[in-house]
Amino acid sequence: MNLSEHSQQKAEVHPFKPLRVDVPASVLHDLRTPLNQIIGYSEMLIEQAQEDGLDAIAPDLQKIRVSGRQLLDKLNESFSALTGDDRQPGNISRQYSQESAAPRVVDYPPSQNLGKDAWSNANPASGKILIVDDGQQNRDVLSKRLVRQGHEVVAAASGAEALSLIYGQLFDLVLLDIMMPDVDGFEVLRQLKQDPAVSDIPVVMISALSAVDDIAKCIALGADDYLSKPFEPALLKARVGVCLDKKAARDREKGLFVQLQQSFDRLQALEKQRDDLTNMIVHDLRTPMTSIIGGLKSLDLAGNLNAEQQEMMRIAISGGDTLLGMINDLLDVEKIGAGAMRLDRVAVSIPEIIASAVMQVANLAEGKQLSIDYQIAGVLPTVSADRDRLTRVVVNLLGNAIKFTPSNGRITVAAYQATDGQSVSVSVADTGEGIPAEAIDSIFEKFTQVATRRGGRTMSTGLGLAFCKLAIEAHGGSIKVSSDIGCGSVFTLTLPSKQ
């Protein structure tokens, strides 16, 4: 039987008692945040599916939402157990008494003749301790003292016997004599600390040797502490308690890590389900949406519509184009993120890209009486890029600027070559409300929505800017934003130039 199998059996035989551990609030917040996002977005997809008449997929979306809520409840229960509730914490590999659950730091000198009652109030954690000493009397004395302190004790008369016991049982601490025949304490310590399966078991060296070199050698080999014979009982109690507290803390960390890893794996699985379902929905939506837009445009061209009808038709076509653009953005975001998008690179002119993008948003700008200014710095080199997707990036940036710039404002598009001559930059500046400083780092993340300080309006759908970032990075470039509340924002993308 290996150590892992034995650990599992021990975990089944001895039920765990709750441990108190100080878990930072940020850990729970960061774990809850993606879960809340999964729940929230699944609920929004349910509503969208109902609005679009996609009742067939609503039950599957509901399953994702319910699973997210169940996982969130489980996460909260686990953290409650680890922070002191009476619930059972899972995946913790040792058993300790509740009274000693909180780690205790004891400040003690490395060698001092303490009084009889110096540590009488200490209450070290109880644990299973292995005593390794070739002297029967030494083993008996240590065993009795440790048993009186509430520990379970196993004794070994040699280094070889100790190694056999360690690989057959689970111990919380080893008290190891140095001077033993055959396999001495140094060799036992060396083997223990070199094996990851047992290296985390604390070892306190106990020996009649007190030379500095011997102590230094023990510490160098990985010993947690050192006691000289004859030892002071109070000092023994204190140092054993400290080592057991450290071991308990490490075991709690391992248990917490297992729980966090399991939660992370579940989150990844849920995110994959969400992404797969989203892809299915948008694929199914794109074809009928394209047909709707095409039909509306055909009706518009057919004529025989009065002014009011023509205006309604233009609004419908504009809304359809916007929705189709969002669908395309989402598909491209998922493709680029999965590395499944192929870029059709050609040599493109940055001024031509800007002119094409501005033409596509001209009607939107005119509707808000916004001016769009050009600032092209000299003759720019071409860049190797996917023309359509680079144009969409600039269109998205202009669209954001138009959306959040008040009427009669100004938008400035600038293009210039970097001083190193190896890249070309394009910036889109607006005179809008600006972006809160706390949102700058997250604004390019997928599905991120940032509220402005005026009226609580959102800065984006969370798709367009995510697409911009992924598309530019796929070209080997970068994108950034600078902004001040009330003074507008500047989005700048940089691409390698083609010489």
Instruction: Give residue-wise pLDDT tens across range 14-52.
Output: 454 555 555 554 465 456 546 655 665 666 677 778 778
Q: Return the structure tokens found at 389.
A: 């997707």
- pLDDT tops 60 at residue 102: no
What 3-state DSSP class applies to 218? Answer: helix
- How is domain 345-498 classified at the CATH fold level? Heat Shock Protein 90 (3.30.565)
Residue 2 φ/ψ region, left for φ over 0, alpha for ψ in the -120 to 50 degree band, beta for the rest: beta
Higher-confidence position of 99 and 472: 472
pLDDT band at 233 (very low <50, low <70, confident <90, very high): low
pLDDT at 127: 85
Say if residue 209's pLDDT is above 90.
no
> % helix / strand / coil in the chain, to the nearest 5?
55, 15, 30
Predicted confidence band at 479 (pLDDT cuts at 50, 70, 90)?
Answer: very high
Q: Which residue has the higher pLDDT, 60 or 1?
A: 60
Distance of CA 417 to the CA centre of its chain: 37
Q: How far apart are CA 130 and CA 157, in angstroms?
A: 11
Section 229-237 average pLDDT? 69
pLDDT (0 to 100) of residue 323: 76
Closest by Cα among 224, 261, 219 to 239:
224
With 60 as the cut, is the pLDDT of residue 442 above it? yes
Displacement of CA 359 from its chain's centroid (Å) = 41
Residue 169 token pair: 């049982």
Among 212-216, 218-222, 246-250, 416-420, the least confident range: 212-216
The string over 451-469, giving b where at least 16 C-beta atoms fall within 10 Å of a residue's C-beta and e elsewhere, is: ebeeeeeebbbbbbbbbbb
Q: Are strands 382-386 and 345-348 parallel, antiparallel or unpaired?
A: antiparallel
What is the average pLDDT across 458-483? 80
What number is the average pLDDT over the span 234-246? 82
Assess whether pLDDT exceeds 60 at residue 106. Answer: no
**pLDDT computed for residue 282 by the predictor:** 66
Q: Does the structure show a pLDDT above 70 at 64?
A: yes
Highest mean pLDDT among 44-48, 401-405, 443-447 belongs to: 401-405
Q: What percent of the chain clears pLDDT 90, i.e. is strictly above it?
A: 15
Report pLDDT for 464: 76
Mean of all residue pLDDT scores within the chain: 75
Residue-level pLDDT at 130: 93
Q: Which CATH class is domain 106-242?
A: alpha beta
For residue 445, the SS3 value is: coil
pLDDT at 457: 47
Of the pLDDT bands very low, low, confident and very high (cuts 50, 70, 90), residue 238 is confident
Q: What is the pLDDT of residues 325-360, one digit of tens each?
A: 777 777 777 666 666 567 889 999 999 999 988 888
H helix or E strand, kind and range, residue 289? helix 233-302
What CA–CA distance (Å, rounded) separates 134 from 162?
A: 11
Highest mean predicted confidence (pLDDT) among 423-432, 433-442, 490-499: 423-432
Give residue 5's pLDDT: 53
pLDDT digits (tens, 9 = 90+) for 364-389: 888 889 999 988 888 889 999 999 88
DSSP H/E element including 356:
helix 350-367
DSSP class of 437: G
Pairing of strands 173-177, 488-498: unpaired
Tens digit of each residue's pLDDT (9 = 90 or more) over 287-332: 787 888 888 888 767 777 788 888 888 778 877 777 777 777 777 7
Higher pLDDT residue, 402 or 212?
A: 402
Tokens of 244: 């057991």
For residue 124, pLDDT over 60 is answered with: no
**DSSP conformation letters of 21-57:** ----HHHHHHHHHHHHHHHHHHHHHHHHHHHTT-GGG
Question: Which residue is associated with the tokens 């008494």?
Answer: 97
The residue-averaged pLDDT of 244-250 equals: 83
**Cα–Cα distance measured from residue 467 to residue 386, given in angstroms and rounded to the nearest whole number:** 14
Alpha-carbon distance 270 to 159, whole Å?
50
Task: Give pLDDT, residue 477.
Answer: 93
pTM: 0.42
Q: Which position has the higher pLDDT, 3 or 215?
A: 215
pLDDT surpassing 60 at residue 449: no
Cα dihedral 63, 65, 67, 70 sign: negative
